[in-house]
Structure 1
């Protein structure tokens, strides 16, 4: 059934065959107490921990998510329906009305029966969240899954983040869970030499911490944004770990720890991850759900709101960044930091023509000056291209032009009979690039005087 759904997504036939081969004739076994069971064939489901497993399962339950969206029941933020939050097989249904929530549960149960998979009763629980401004506690709700009552719990994990009955409890539980998991990860690395004295060198030890322990310690905290008391717990654990690994005295000042290790304080790490997450939202299309929610919350909510976007707004002001609405309307692009920026100006202008930004495409193809015309080189390149493959610079895309100038052998592969022309073309392109570099260098010297 999974392969059938993948086929209907108009995937490349070669890719479909590859996915089919990955899941064909697979076997599994159960490991328990350093012992393995007999192998048994896997006839259903995706591979546990596979690289494509999450994306394939999203395709598998895409129809279920569309059913939730079409029902128009459950929680809403403004006019946006947020009745289901899902990532692969981790689905959370939300509603303020028990009857609507029961309807959503019935839809999920019916979908599982039609697609021949089971919902685990132990993981299918009810988490009754109480608003902070409600003085009287609400009555417990009675919900059923396949006519079996669902247990009501105080906390439950969702996407690896431990959710509880209130925002404060969720922060406390997630913080304690991350510290516990990080301590276990540190203990598991002690056999590899991560124990300070007589162990690995400090550089290797710090790299292991940054790779295996730090992501566990800060996992999910950019979403819940812990309070100062929880930040102190996390900070205390990180400082103690760094002191032991670097064999520093207990009374070592905090700045010395961070200078020697190169680590950031926990608060700075969480702020960094939160700003990266907000930047990912800003770079989405305006039709995406996350960006719609961001615009709505930043426009409607005031500074006293507990909304995550308002917390991000305060964080942006703390670091002196542009306003969040400005970032949403004009998100910073990932290629902005790859410009050839040789000056300290905010907008790097091309030094040859003083007209466009000094990007790679403009510098090689569009830049021109009175002291250095590039037409003669383009004319020679055009003549050789006509001898090689009847191509013309006017008909080629900008990407192909840049590829020819930088390394023409990658663009014209397999042309053994025209090797002499390839050598001539490569020589002219190198001359052109060097001449551009010299012309720009001279312009800088003139402006410095």
Structure 2
């Protein structure tokens, strides 16, 4: 039996064409497939990804670039028609492992994202730059970290929601603190995604919704009284109450002092008195002390939550809802009475 000789290492000096040496190539391309001595699968995978990425970029001019381009259905058809065949071409001839599949699946995400982040400046109008700025704004991990270490979908959605709510709650609080018209509104419980006690205590009926709308305008300072009209017209219009002609019609006067509205508030003031006297907490403000301070009583009617935060009022949740319900009816009654008197004047 003849034993074949061992293969010797082939070097460039082993091949000559005439007097010229012929170099030995370790890779060659045949019908679009790169043949290599080593790492043939990895080389072809990178080549397919590179080819697909170039194809994607070449389609940008057709509108394949986001929400202001072609419709998503058209983009998907373009991807299936032009990009996907170039990714998959010749891969059936190789034995691919899971990490090869992962790299191919991320061609439209990680590869493009990394390239855009690395090449675009902060002043660029690129969508990727805009997203990176949003991440910084909401104090979330940068796009680079996200690509390197992608978070779990559920935890990411939760963190994004919390970050956005926190950011806009702080922004809203800062804006509200600058508004003098919100001096009667309790801002301590202000939070994105929650509603004010005024709305959460309302039943689902049209009457309560209408009453709540009037009280909201009073709390937020958007209910136009004569004092506001005079102020907006640079005092060319008198601020005196058009109903009783006694003093300026500001919030305290409208809620408690105007004699023309006495019959519209009497019933509800008595009801509010009973509610306050039913509070057994010794730390609570008595009704007599509230009546002696029109400012505090007005605050109780508009938003009792402010008095609770200031430790002036201490009551149960049930009592707070009763106060809210009574004050809502009072505000609506005053509004109806004021409108009726003004409209009846010649």
TM-score, scaled relative to structure 2: 0.29
Return the index of the structure with the highest Cα Rg: 2
Identify, as 1 or 2, the structure richer in helix: 2
Higher RCO, 1 vs 2 (CA within 8 Å, ≥6 residues apart): 2
